[in-house]
Structure 1
Amino acid sequence: MNRNPIVTQALTRAATPQFAERRAQPSLRLSVDWARSEAEVREAQALRYQVFAVEMGARLAPPKGAPAGLDIDLFDAYCEHLLVRAGSSDDEPGPVIGTYRVLTPAAAKRAGGLYSDTEFDLTRLRSIRPRLVEIGRSCVHADHRSGGAILALWGALAEFMARNGLNTVIGCASVSMRDGGHYAASLWRQIAAQHLAPIDCQVRPRLPLPIAHLRQDLQVEPPALIRGYLRCGAKLMGEPAWDPDFNTADLPLLLRTADLPARFRRISG
């Protein structure tokens, strides 16, 4: 594998910026598109570094020789990178304030699997993997977590999937364990009560969060990103995995495009 990411041609353009603009702050315009150069991928990796390493304290392990201040891993070279920018006009799209990376079924074969395979036993998903994409390294800048950025990302992703005959998306939503894991365990219990996936779509963590030894009765507020996923119809596929490097509990989520709210189906139809 190449040391640095090689940007591939995105399979389709993202949803129109006007979709995001309606949900942007009055003084800002959100635009969303696919990274088309290594420089644009670097912008996404810089945002990821800021959120994961600086804000969350993750212990990143970039490839040898990777530039400082970037979050890079071996899956980046195989992914399409979706970017949301916040600017004042079309001529000044502004900095990247939100990003996903998207791993298609064909790219997953070249990569040797999904990132989620390293954290979960995905055996039960075998039958749906040919039309399944994985999103990862999702993050939004702290100043833009009120909902507009995540809605823009989801709208673009819905169009991408519809145009390319894909119907299921999975990914991990990371929750900080700075309190020892009690928040994460309580959040898992709270979400599972209403949003647990059917048994045929449930997975098992390879390194489980020790839920039985943690408090599960705290009344907690889900992070903005997870609230956005659930509003889009996402289901929880099982118990969270523990990621020691990021010091997070990773909740496995699944969403079928058929379950998306009507406003996304209109955009992607």
Structure 2
Amino acid sequence: MIDLNLSPSSAPPAIQPRASERPDFEVVWARHEEDVRAAQRLRYDVFVSELGARIRPQPGVPPGHDVDIFDNFCEHLLVRTLPSDDRPAEVIGTYRVLTPAAARRAGGYYSETEFDLTRLRSLREHMVELGRSCVHRDWRSGGTILALWSALGDAMRRNQWHTVIGCASVGMHDGGHAAASLWNRLSAAHMASIEWQVRARLPLPVDDLRQDLRVEPPALIKGYLRCGAKLIGPPAWDPDFNTADLPLLLRTADLPARYLRTGATFAAATDPRRTCR
């Protein structure tokens, strides 16, 4: 974990809720293996136990952990409660960050397992991937998400990352009709120009699905679009998570001025349960 321009003394300060909220929490970058394991346990609780994902066990990984091959290359951002006399510290939120240098070592971005990103090669030097975000069910409030995004924004400024990519997921419990309808609606107004468009490796068969349902965009996608993000291709189907994954790209140059001042508005708009994977 060497790519973040964040020494312990310059790491994001702890972000604490109002005194009336219970209990206080802090935002930290994982420094030890146990920090990462705590994030992986939270991810398992949310993605597998709560949302029904089917993950492939990795050799040597203890039960109850969501782990993939990219974890060892990523930085892991944690929201953690402060310990008390009767309660140990607990990781209640997490985001993982794959930096440009780490992506080179990993052989690519996680998104490349679902999409051909060839057209984005000119952006890679300053392109960071965000994913595997989740928050414990008892802490799904704007304050927790704001804490994550404040620290991410600080890291982006320090490291001069200009582009964010990720996959925003839409559940397919209805067989994919809602996802296809959402794609049909959003692609008409929020597609990136052709030079940034990518191709799904396992496309969702949108032409075989209904595309006329009135579907409200998930809060995550709505928040990204408000910030100036663009869809960069049709959705891919992720059979393990049973989701349709929409590829999104956000360039800091496209952010409205009010979002450059704070992550609060975006944080309040995002889905606190699941964001980019």
| TM-score normalised by structure 1 residue count | 0.85
Distance 1:188 1:28 in 2: 40
Aligned match for 2:204, one of 198, 209, 234:
209
> What's 1:260 paired with?
255
The within-5 A match list for 1:44-55 is 44-55=39-50
The within-5 A match list for 1:1-269 is 8=2, 10-12=4-6, 15-18=12-15, 21=17, 26-86=21-81, 94-262=89-257, 264-266=259-261
| Alignment CA distance shift 1:93-1:103 (3 Å) | farther
Deviates more, 1:227-236 or 1:97-106: 227-236
Identity %: 65
Deviation sequence 1:6-58 (CA, Å, 0-9, x none) = x557432554444x747x98445453221111111111101111111112211
Distance 1:171 1:25 in 2: 35
> What's 2:266 paired with?
none
Q: How far is 1:88 from its partner?
A: 9.0
| Alignment CA distance shift 1:191-1:144 (3 Å) | farther
Deviates more, 1:167-176 or 1:213-222: 213-222
* One-letter amino acid of the structure 1 residue matched with residue 73 of structure 2: Y
SS at match of 1:246: coil
CA contact (8 A) 1:145 1:225 kept: no
| Alignment CA distance shift 1:156-1:60 (3 Å) | same
Distance 2:22 2:58 in 1: 39
Deviates more, 1:56-65 or 1:147-156: 147-156
Distance 2:196 2:113 in 1: 17
CA contact (8 A) 2:4 2:159 kept: no
- Structure 1, unaligned stretches of length 5 or more? 1-6
> What's 1:3 paired with?
none
| Alignment CA distance shift 1:33-1:259 (3 Å) | farther
| Alignment CA distance shift 1:265-1:212 (3 Å) | same
* One-letter amino acid of the structure 1 residue matched with residue 44 of structure 2: Y
Q: How far is 1:94 from its partner?
A: 4.7
Deviation sequence 1:92-136 (CA, Å, 0-9, x none) = 895322211111111111111111111101111011111101112
| Alignment CA distance shift 1:147-1:232 (3 Å) | farther
Q: How far is 1:183 from its partner?
A: 1.5
| Alignment CA distance shift 1:26-1:258 (3 Å) | farther
- How many residue pairs get aligned? The number is 258
| Alignment CA distance shift 1:192-1:103 (3 Å) | same
- Structure 2, unaligned stretches of length 5 or more? 264-277
Deviation sequence 1:187-225 (CA, Å, 0-9, x none) = 222332332222222111010001111112222223333
* One-letter amino acid of the structure 2 residue matched with residue 155 of structure 1: S
* One-letter amino acid of the structure 2 residue matched with residue 153 of structure 1: L
Distance 2:163 2:154 in 1: 13
| Alignment CA distance shift 1:25-1:8 (3 Å) | farther
| TM-score normalised by structure 2 residue count | 0.83
RMSD: 2.6
CA contact (8 A) 1:105 1:130 kept: yes
| Alignment CA distance shift 1:187-1:86 (3 Å) | farther
Distance 2:224 2:23 in 1: 23
* One-letter amino acid of the structure 1 residue matched with residue 111 of structure 2: S
